[in-house]
Chains A and B, each alone.
Chain A
């Protein structure tokens, strides 16, 4: 998939955003002595964003000129997204740093601010795609998908990467969040297909979208099916399995589950790029 840098970058930003929100929620609910459970994941937030940003530069033809991406800030959505992501990254640096250093004072507020910055970065990222000249993307399903990914991963990662002995209430919050994220992704997928079926477009666009829908449901139906199973069935199964538990240990299996779900989100993201770029406009 040609757009692999962007697939990984968007997933990274969304994962980091979700983890930030998760860590903040964790902090509000957990006993201070239990906060350490969240520490590894919270420390990972900045590296995830940073790696994502570096990977995104691999998508540029001339990465050394990446700084130029800020030049058209007044007009270009892409410039805005770059700056908002940079702000998120800086805040994430501090936030992950706070967790690393064990500094709790002001950490909750910082987490909230970083979370807001993360959401802003994710929404700005979605806004790149919701442009009139890309009718397959110009619909609420893209921001829904981006946010849904953040919520799903931000809920599932802590759920399966933390050893829960007490705080099962929190576990259930995370499991609930991952299911909510899944639901949002399912809604986004349906919304995406409904968008492809819209008649309101001009005949050229309607024909193009109908063609894409046809391909999606025939040649690419296997991918679509994989996506749906990985991002909804798997997290639901995890939630059902773990919900009644009083104790959960991390095992390689739980890590593999998370990896499978991440793979699912990557498949979905790849399909999104295919919808908008897999053909020549003229």
Chain B
């Protein structure tokens, strides 16, 4: 009973044109970008094909080529080396293919600018680079003198992920000035990267090539079809399926991954993944499907017999699951109530996981970006151990992104050592502005206390300042207060929501306008090189260039640059890489080729520890996988249990608040953007306009039809967007893709659908990570 759903372009054309036309002060219309001949390029010289890179926060980092004729890029192509099963091409995605569209966007920032009016109004006047660097140097010097170096914060930035990125250059500068307030965690994987070491000692994942050996693949909130984790991840998933693997997807949405690859879709309620896993553990235990030998040999804390000394009885995982400690047996029926997944489906999945060998559990970063996200990670690892699926070919547990040990060892711009040892969790920077000196270890401060609140922010190639951080309305209130943060320096390509809050706004060059190296997330065995193929337009400059000028004014120019240009740094980086790996090409070869690649490998995470536990113990206190962690247990907190628990989320489906705001809202990644990069692009908007997914049941109850304009709101803020009424999301949940640019009207309501007006700054208890998918909202038609 299928019906046609027209994928109409739900573009609010006026808004879109406004976004793409907004170009800051002093801009003339009609100038064409991307058509600036390289100095020295001869006219009519035929077509040159040159390797380029797109270096924003994508897991792919694919091989791209610009075709250049008469100094103009006429098209973009991708890897065309032989496409073989052993070495598939590194084909770019829709974003990489649209580089020309991005390059010629007329809304490009053109000149250095200084704020006039209130911070956040977005009103600027043009200044010269000299004036800009003078201002920054003077301000920086004064702030550091007055408040100390730890008052300077270099914002989490992934808009430029090249080796010589702006934020790396800023770190280098500050390390020569006494340091800066450091941070740990990421917005991507805070809970996962923080908690996995408590369990397995370090974080690691199998390579995708091993999927072909799996009989069962469970994808928990893992959506490589829309969030590129690695260029060929979907291709390997398809091949695994063709080899006979059964794929089960656990996700509130029937994502593209689920629609294409899943044999079964378990549409669970957001925040309840740990409950599902705990109930699966119950089935494995009660139906005697546990691999007790594996648990005995490689783990501690699973049952009472394997607890460390001195811990009172009843604290093992098995005791928790069977309800011996709290009187609640974590049966599939118990989990069905919580997760919204039928008990028999939970049972079947557990049985499959217990019997189909080997099996891989891949947990994406969505489930851990939730309240108590730590627990779903710990529970996942526990399950993997219960079924003996760790460190074996085709079996494993992984967090999807990163952490694989296969990287080609290559560095970036050396930043030096930070004399300031104080670190805050990256998610709490707004707290560090308001009450930095009062923050404690309980807030996640390491080597504290902070000597100062944050007074100066470098936001270079980042939209974290406003758009990507949670609770936009709270953030902008904090930033507007010039008594708190005294200076914000922003560099970017466009007038992003963060750029509007700059005191000094600088136009940056993009990846086609400079040479740089790109390194993929996942430690896949390649790196790419992006050549400079067009001149940066107007007065756009590389961050390293103006930071060098700032350094000069501060009397540390020589130490900062060591007399090197960016290109010379790249040559040094390549030279260092060659020393570590003789197979690494020379700089010239790398530029010509555009990438360096070693053959993909079937890498099995924790293989050594499983094969030879005596010779390679897990780097944990016990030397084994710590299903029970004494370190965590000794924190003596109900929300940091010794073994994995399901903990009901604040603002989750069991929260009182759901009476007022009955819909859970998640902010998935969107294939036409990389976070907030590409939101400004017209081709991307045509491919997939910003829209909110809502189930037919929830839509009907609110009189909402497909394509209707709707308002999503809670106590923190409100946004307007278009509804996509679809069966592909579970009732009770809406999904608003993250990364849309915050575009408030006079009433403060975001017109574009920036989900972060709805998200909360409450951090997770252990990792102090961002629980940005844990939101309750209501939606109504406007």
**B636 interfacial by beta-carbon distance below 8 Å:** no
**A67 interfacial by beta-carbon distance below 8 Å:** no
**B4 interfacial by beta-carbon distance below 8 Å:** yes
Q: Which residues of A contact B6 (CB under 8 A)?
A: 279-280
**B562 interfacial by beta-carbon distance below 8 Å:** no
Q: Which residues of A contact B3 (CB under 8 A)?
A: 207
Q: Which residues of B contact A279 (CB under 8 A)?
A: 6
Q: Which residues of B contact A207 (CB under 8 A)?
A: 3-4
Chain A positions near chain B (C-beta within 8 angstroms)? 204, 207-208, 279-280
Which interface class (under 10, 10 to 19, 20 to 34, 35 or more) fits B? Answer: under 10
A-B contact pairs, 7 of them (CB 8 A): A204-B4, A207-B3, A207-B4, A208-B4, A279-B6, A280-B6, A280-B8
Q: Which residues of B contact A204 (CB under 8 A)?
A: 4
Q: How far is the CB of B59 from chain A (nearest CB, A)?
A: 32
- Chain B residues 363 to 393 lying within 8 A of chain A, measured CB to CB, are none
| B interface: dominant SS | loop
Chain B positions near chain A (C-beta within 8 angstroms)? 3-4, 6, 8
Could you tell me the distance between the alpha carbons of A279 and B6 in the complex, rounded to whole angstroms? Answer: 9
Q: Which residues of A contact B4 (CB under 8 A)?
A: 204, 207-208
Q: How far is the CB of A22 from chain B (nearest CB, A)?
A: 45
| A interface: dominant SS | helix
Q: How far is the CB of B417 from chain A (nearest CB, A)?
A: 59
Could you tell me the distance between the alpha carbons of A279 and B3 in the complex, rounded to whole angstroms? Answer: 16
Q: How far is the CB of A154 from chain B (nearest CB, A)?
A: 40
Could you tell me the distance between the alpha carbons of A280 and B8 in the complex, rounded to whole angstroms? Answer: 9
Could you tell me the distance between the alpha carbons of A17 and B45 in the complex, rounded to whole angstroms? Answer: 61
Q: How far is the CB of A213 from chain B (nearest CB, A)?
A: 15
Q: How far is the CB of B317 from chain A (nearest CB, A)?
A: 53
Q: Which residues of B contact A208 (CB under 8 A)?
A: 4
Closest to A211 in B: B4
**What 7 A-B pairs come out closest when comparing CB atoms?**
A207-B4, A207-B3, A279-B6, A280-B6, A208-B4, A204-B4, A280-B8
Closest to B4 in A: A207
Could you tell me the distance between the alpha carbons of A136 and B6 in the complex, rounded to whole angstroms? Answer: 18
Most chain A CB inside 10 Å of its own CB: which residue of B3, B4, B8: B4
Q: Which residues of A contact B8 (CB under 8 A)?
A: 280
Q: Which residues of B contact A280 (CB under 8 A)?
A: 6, 8
Q: How far is the CB of A69 from chain B (nearest CB, A)?
A: 31
Could you tell me the distance between the alpha carbons of A204 and B6 in the complex, rounded to whole angstroms? Answer: 13
Q: How far is the CB of A26 from chain B (nearest CB, A)?
A: 51
Could you tell me the distance between the alpha carbons of A280 and B4 in the complex, rounded to whole angstroms? Answer: 12
Q: How far is the CB of A196 from chain B (nearest CB, A)?
A: 16
Closest to B7 in A: A280
Q: How far is the CB of A169 from chain B (nearest CB, A)?
A: 56
Could you tell me the distance between the alpha carbons of A208 and B5 in the complex, rounded to whole angstroms? Answer: 11
Q: How far is the CB of B13 from chain A (nearest CB, A)?
A: 16
Q: How far is the CB of A157 from chain B (nearest CB, A)?
A: 41
Could you tell me the distance between the alpha carbons of A36 and B16 in the complex, rounded to whole angstroms? Answer: 60
Could you tell me the distance between the alpha carbons of A279 and B9 in the complex, rounded to whole angstroms? Answer: 12
Q: How far is the CB of A58 from chain B (nearest CB, A)?
A: 24
Could you tell me the distance between the alpha carbons of A279 and B4 in the complex, rounded to whole angstroms? Answer: 12
Could you tell me the distance between the alpha carbons of A280 and B686 in the complex, rounded to whole angstroms? Answer: 14
Q: How far is the CB of B687 from chain A (nearest CB, A)?
A: 15
Q: How far is the CB of B429 from chain A (nearest CB, A)?
A: 46
Q: How far is the CB of A180 from chain B (nearest CB, A)?
A: 40
Q: How far is the CB of B701 from chain A (nearest CB, A)?
A: 21
Could you tell me the distance between the alpha carbons of A208 and B4 in the complex, rounded to whole angstroms? Answer: 9
Closest to A208 in B: B4
Q: How far is the CB of A220 from chain B (nearest CB, A)?
A: 16
Q: How far is the CB of A123 from chain B (nearest CB, A)?
A: 34
Could you tell me the distance between the alpha carbons of A272 and B31 in the complex, rounded to whole angstroms? Answer: 42
Q: How far is the CB of B689 from chain A (nearest CB, A)?
A: 15
Q: How far is the CB of A32 from chain B (nearest CB, A)?
A: 62
Could you tell me the distance between the alpha carbons of A280 and B3 in the complex, rounded to whole angstroms? Answer: 15
Could you tell me the distance between the alpha carbons of A207 and B4 in the complex, rounded to whole angstroms? Answer: 9
Q: How far is the CB of A277 from chain B (nearest CB, A)?
A: 15
Q: How far is the CB of B4 from chain A (nearest CB, A)?
A: 7
Q: How far is the CB of A67 from chain B (nearest CB, A)?
A: 33
Q: How far is the CB of B6 from chain A (nearest CB, A)?
A: 7
Could you tell me the distance between the alpha carbons of A134 and B8 in the complex, rounded to whole angstroms? Answer: 21
Closest to B9 in A: A280
Q: How far is the CB of A46 from chain B (nearest CB, A)?
A: 42
Could you tell me the distance between the alpha carbons of A204 and B4 in the complex, rounded to whole angstroms? Answer: 9
Could you tell me the distance between the alpha carbons of A56 and B481 in the complex, rounded to whole angstroms? Answer: 62
Could you tell me the distance between the alpha carbons of A279 and B8 in the complex, rounded to whole angstroms? Answer: 9
Q: How far is the CB of B43 from chain A (nearest CB, A)?
A: 31
Q: How far is the CB of A202 from chain B (nearest CB, A)?
A: 13
Could you tell me the distance between the alpha carbons of A208 and B6 in the complex, rounded to whole angstroms? Answer: 11
Closest to A203 in B: B2
Could you tell me the distance between the alpha carbons of A207 and B3 in the complex, rounded to whole angstroms? Answer: 8
Q: How far is the CB of B708 from chain A (nearest CB, A)?
A: 13
Could you tell me the distance between the alpha carbons of A204 and B2 in the complex, rounded to whole angstroms? Answer: 10
Could you tell me the distance between the alpha carbons of A10 and B4 in the complex, rounded to whole angstroms? Answer: 33
Could you tell me the distance between the alpha carbons of A207 and B8 in the complex, rounded to whole angstroms? Answer: 18
Closest to B8 in A: A280
Q: How far is the CB of B706 from chain A (nearest CB, A)?
A: 13
Q: How far is the CB of A281 from chain B (nearest CB, A)?
A: 11
Could you tell me the distance between the alpha carbons of A280 and B9 in the complex, rounded to whole angstroms? Answer: 11
Could you tell me the distance between the alpha carbons of A279 and B5 in the complex, rounded to whole angstroms? Answer: 12
Q: How far is the CB of A201 from chain B (nearest CB, A)?
A: 14
Q: How far is the CB of B8 from chain A (nearest CB, A)?
A: 8
Q: How far is the CB of B9 from chain A (nearest CB, A)?
A: 10
Q: How far is the CB of B468 from chain A (nearest CB, A)?
A: 34
Q: How far is the CB of A206 from chain B (nearest CB, A)?
A: 12
Q: How far is the CB of B717 from chain A (nearest CB, A)?
A: 33
Q: How far is the CB of A125 from chain B (nearest CB, A)?
A: 30
Could you tell me the distance between the alpha carbons of A34 and B21 in the complex, rounded to whole angstroms? Answer: 66
Could you tell me the distance between the alpha carbons of A279 and B7 in the complex, rounded to whole angstroms? Answer: 11
Closest to A280 in B: B6
Could you tell me the distance between the alpha carbons of A280 and B283 in the complex, rounded to whole angstroms? Answer: 51
Q: How far is the CB of A226 from chain B (nearest CB, A)?
A: 24
